[in-house]
Amino acid sequence: MLIKMTKASDIKSSEITPKAVFDDRRRFLKTAALAGLGFAAGSIAPSSFANEGRRKKLIGIEPSKWTQKSVGEKLTDYESVTSYNNFYEFGTGKQDPLTYAKDFNPKPWSVVVDGEVENPGTYSYEDLVNPHTLEDRVYRFRCVEAWSMVVPWVGIGLADMFKRFGPKNDAKYVAFETLNDPDRMYGQRRRVLEWPYREGLRMDEAMNPLSFMAVGLYGEELPNQNGAPIRLVTPWKYGFKSIKSIVRISFTKTQPPTSWNMSGPREYGFYSNVNPEKSHPRWSQAKERRIGEFLKRPSLMYNGYGEEVASMYVGMDLNKFY
């Protein structure tokens, strides 16, 4: 995998950014503000293109079968994907990660692989990623807070990566951990959650073709606020399952503890599959607001990925195993 530095101006013309949509929304907001409160048509510089200057294009990306066409929806614009984030390691506000992850330098990075596995060890980011061909995958992304996006990720099928580690037969689950470093992760100075952030999957979920290890989005390296340098993406589950900035992958015999489940077991289950019928104490999950749209839309069972994943949950009481 090669990394080529590019000027920000190169990226603005990115073919897949539906810039018209983005401009429309901005124009709408501005007009509303202008009309409503009689602001003079001024020259306050908009704070767009937040990552200008430090964006790195990824090279040698292959297309996959999960394209924008197959999702059949517009991509969420780059600005929104990279400025509206839940990443409590960098603060609890939606724009905190953008602000406080600016100087987080993810490289060099390494990931500990341990537990029930043939090839345990500490893998550098390059060891993990370089042997693979990167793929483009456009997935819906559904947050438990009832908002959603469509994101063009770049990365590696999780099963492909795991095959190199060689999970043993005893490995029934896999546990992931985020970096725990309050010096570099400002939000970890408060115990919003018990750090480090932990997530987990059942082994068959991890090996499902949809499970994805992302290292980029919009054809570029992952911005810090999106979980640089490497994060999970499980599009049929609520967003918090897609753990960011991973430093540990442990193959286990038993179901591992997961952060949100530890914090609120009644609200967040281990599976946390998108399920519009199972309502949540805080948010009805029946509908969601796609970022950039005004009206809410009905949410889909398994976020629309039932064909790929429903068979894994046959016979399970989804009201109990939520």
Partner 1 sequence: MTQDKLIQRVLKPLVWMLCLAPLLGLAGLAYTDGMTANPIEFLNRYLGEWALKFLLSALMITPLKIVTGWAGFTRFRRLLGLFAFFYAVLHLLSYVGLDQFFNWKDIWTDLIKRTYITVGLGAFIILAVLAATSTKNTIKKLGGKNWNRLHKWVYVAGFGGCLHFFMMRKGVQAEPLFYAGFLALLLIYRWLYYLKKQRQRAGKTAPAAL
- The per-residue b/e assignment along 64-92, b for 16 or more CB within 10 angstroms, e otherwise, is bebeeeebeeebbbbbbbbbbbbbbbbbe
Could you say whether residue 37 binds partner 1 (CB under 8 A)? yes
Q: Which of 56, 166, 252, 283 binds partner 1 (CB under 8 A)?
A: 283
* Contact set for partner 1, span 84-103 (CB under 8 A): 84, 88, 92, 94-95
Q: Which of 26, 132, 184, 278 binds partner 1 (CB under 8 A)?
A: 26
What is the nearest approach in angstroms of partner 1 to the Cβ of residue 20?
16
Paired tokens of 73: 């929806």
Paired tokens of 205: 């979920």
Could you say whether residue 46 binds partner 1 (CB under 8 A)? yes
CA angle 260, 228, 299 (to 5 degrees): 50
What is the nearest approach in angstroms of partner 1 to the Cβ of residue 189?
10
Looking at the Cβ atoms of 97 and 216, the one nearer to partner 1 is 97
Could you say whether residue 287 binds partner 1 (CB under 8 A)? yes
Distance set, CA 50 to CA 23, 81, 91, 134 (Å): 15, 11, 17, 25
Could you say whether residue 47 binds partner 1 (CB under 8 A)? yes
Q: Which of 83, 225, 242, 303 binds partner 1 (CB under 8 A)?
A: 83
Distance set, CA 90 to CA 65, 104, 108, 272, 277 (Å): 33, 10, 19, 23, 32
Could you say whether residue 33 binds partner 1 (CB under 8 A)? yes
Looking at the Cβ atoms of 43 and 169, the one nearer to partner 1 is 43
Of 201, 169, 218, 173, which Cα lies nearest the Cα of 61? 218
Paired tokens of 97: 């990660």
Paired tokens of 292: 């950039």
DSSP classification of residue 46: P
* Contact set for partner 1, span 175-234 (CB under 8 A): 190-193
* Contact set for partner 1, span 145-174 (CB under 8 A): 145, 147
Dihedral angle sign, alpha carbons of residues 5, 64, 145, 237: negative
Residues 241-260 as x/- pattern, contact with partner 1 by CB under 8 A: -------------------x
Q: What share of residues in the chain are helix, strand, coil (percent, to 5)?
A: 25, 25, 50
Looking at the Cβ atoms of 5 and 295, the one nearer to partner 1 is 295
What is the nearest approach in angstroms of partner 1 to the Cβ of residue 29?
6
CA angle 153, 156, 159 (to 5 degrees): 130
What is the nearest approach in angstroms of partner 1 to the Cβ of residue 39?
6
CB 225 within 8 A of CB 80: no
Q: Which of 1, 291, 301, 318 binds partner 1 (CB under 8 A)?
A: 291
* Sites of contact with partner 1 (CB under 8 A): 26, 29-30, 32-34, 36-37, 39, 42, 44, 46-48, 76, 79-80, 83-84, 88, 92, 94-95, 145, 147, 190-193, 260, 263-264, 279, 281-284, 286-287, 289, 291-292, 294-296
